[in-house]
Amino acid sequence: MAKTQLNLAVHLVRLESQTDFAGWRDAARRLATNDIPPEDAAWQVEPDGETRGKDLPAAHADARLVVPRDFIERAETVICHCDPERFGFLYRLLWRLRSEPKLLSIATDPDIRKLEAMEKAVGRDIHKMRAFVRFRKIGEGAEERYVAWFEPEHFIVERNADFFVRRFTGMRWTILTPHASADWDGERLAIGPGAGKRDAPAEDDAEALWRTYFENIFNPARLKVKAMQKEMPKKYWRNLPEASLIPDLIAGADKAASDMIARMPTTPAPHHAKVKAKHWPVPQPANADETENADTIPELRAVAKGCHRCPLWRDATQTVFGEGPENAEVIFVGEQPGDQEDLAGKPFVGPAGKMFDSILDDAAIDRRKVYVTNAVKHFKFEPRGKRRIHSKPNAGEIQACRWWLDKELDLIKPNLVVALGATAAQSLLGKAVPITKMRGDVVERDDGLRVFLTIHPSFILRIREQEDKEAERGRFLSDMRKVRELMGA
């Protein structure tokens, strides 16, 4: 009997969505200012009805309701939690705050502990979404857009959408989740209904890139399986292209770690020392006149032997300058010399060079007729045992070496320049550009020079799966065929 009476007294709050914070706040104000206790209020989400506040008394104009700002901010987070009881729970806290203004600072209070745990869970989910959303490209040209499928634990899509807008402002993207979707058309953010995994594309060209990246950053000596699964819970694995590698990498981690220890720096291989001795001491740095007066490529190459524009000259064997005819129509720009180039003093003669040569050949481009150089002219590496492992040049090194590249461009005056990979593109365009997205584009610089963007051939070498490798080689070959067409244009 008592139960029925209690139910009759219940005020039903209808919220428009799972994250209708404005609705919750309005209802909480009406309930509290009319002295309606938490047990007399029931909360439910009714997406399509214009029902908000319908069954509730208006807020009491004379009643004062002072709510700490901190509570409002925390409630705004907690409303994104998936616990269906959260609306009532938050109202209970608000109710208690009226008579216990210090409540939020009582860390031992069970309600406060719960508030904190819910807040943390939402925060973690927001962080996971930022880390594990993987976009897949659909459409080409004007139709190009990026779509991601993600399964958050809580209702965090709207709360996180601004982050993705800021991070991917220049892309048109959609993030689909079971509860809501966020869509950015380059100008406007729209939050829409949830979707199914089947609505998202399955696989795209960037998958191989993610896998290669993950393999390269994976450090077997630092593997802590439990910690890794905590940070990257298995439920996210199915949507991460790189996750297919995890079981194998974990299985091979012990061996990989001992191999890694065996590769720790020892003395350099004897032939490195011999070649280096031949090129040392490095000529004194060229003075400004000498460089200014170098008006042929051989003269410039000779002066560049003494380049001290950045510290990379100290560990490298020699400057590896560009090579090819001075009247070349096209210049190919790589990243930096590798181990073999450093020893030989010539660009693109190692494994990436061989891959590059064979593809140029297939595209009917005669390497002897083109000029090949690098954005950075000294080999940057880390010693590992007897090996020297390529290390990416940083922005300062790229900038310092751009001086030489500009001189090469000035003297040769090519019709077209091909940027092989991100470092070359950064050097040629003066800023970092997304290569996978812009691959195949021709960017015209302010000085009228046309720059064709593509990947670096070493990317193909790093792909493990034979089928994927072949596919990537095919894509690079079609890029080179485009280059051949553009060369004459």
Distance, in Å, from the CA atom of 371 to the CA atom of 332, rounded to the nearest integer, reads 6
- Cβ atoms of 89 and 82 closer than 8 Å: no
Torsion angles phi and psi, residue 333, rounded to 5: -115, 120
One residue of 152, 345, 353, 414 binding ligand URA per CB under 6 A: 353
Binding to ligand URA by residue 332, rule CB under 6 A? no
Q: C-alpha distances in angstroms, 222 versus 86, 242, 264?
A: 39, 18, 15
Question: Residue 324, interface with ligand URA (CB under 6 A)?
Answer: no
Q: Which span (77-85, 287-295, 330-338, 471-479) binds ligand URA, by CB under 6 A? A: 330-338
Return the residue of 242, 335, 408, 479 that touches ligand URA, per CB under 6 A.
Answer: 335
Beta-strand pair 381-384/145-149: unpaired
Of residues 90, 85, 116, the one with CA closest to residue 31: 90
Q: Which of 323, 339, 341, 397 binds ligand URA (CB under 6 A)?
A: 341
Other CB atoms within 10 A of residue 56 CB: 19
Q: Is residue 347 involved in binding ligand URA (CB under 6 A)? A: yes
Beta carbons within 10 angstroms of residue 235's beta carbon: 11
Contact positions with ligand URA (CB under 6 A) in 111-170: none
Give least dist CB 93 to ligand URA, A.
Answer: 59
Q: Which stretch binds ligand URA (CB under 6 A): 93-101, 185-193, 236-244, 348-356?
A: 348-356
Distance of CA 53 to the CA centre of its chain: 43
Q: Say whether residue 241 binds ligand URA (CB under 6 A).
A: no
Torsion angle of the four alpha carbons 383, 396, 447, 307, in this order, in degrees rounded to the nearest 10: -60
Contact 177, 164 (CB under 8 A): no
- Confirm or reject binding of residue 397 to ligand URA (CB under 6 A): no
Nearer to ligand URA, 126 or 460 (CB): 460
Which is nearest to 133 in space by CA: 147, 121, 148?
Answer: 148
Stretch in the footprint of ligand URA (CB under 6 A) among 24-32, 101-109, 243-251, 337-345: 337-345
Assess 352 for contact with ligand URA (CB under 6 A). yes
Report, in Å, the least distance between residue 308 CB and ligand URA. Answer: 21
Q: Which is nearer to ligand URA, 347 or 414 (CB)?
A: 347
CB of 175 to ligand URA, least distance (A): 35
Asked whether 336 and 423 are in contact (CB, 8 A), the reply is yes
Stretch that binds ligand URA, among 64-72, 201-209, 349-357, 467-475 (CB under 6 A): 349-357
Query: Judged by CB under 6 A, does residue 454 bind ligand URA?
Result: no
> Is 345 near ligand URA (CB under 6 A)?
no
Neighbours of 234 (CB within 10 A): 9
Among 212, 291, 374, 454, binds ligand URA (CB under 6 A): 374
Task: Report whether 149 contacts 200 (CB < 8 A).
Answer: yes
Q: Which tokens hold the place of 245?
A: 């590698």
CB atoms within 10 A of CB 409: 20
CB of 386 to ligand URA, least distance (A): 20
Contacts with ligand URA by CB under 6 A lie at 334-338, 341, 347-348, 350, 352-353, 374, 456, 458
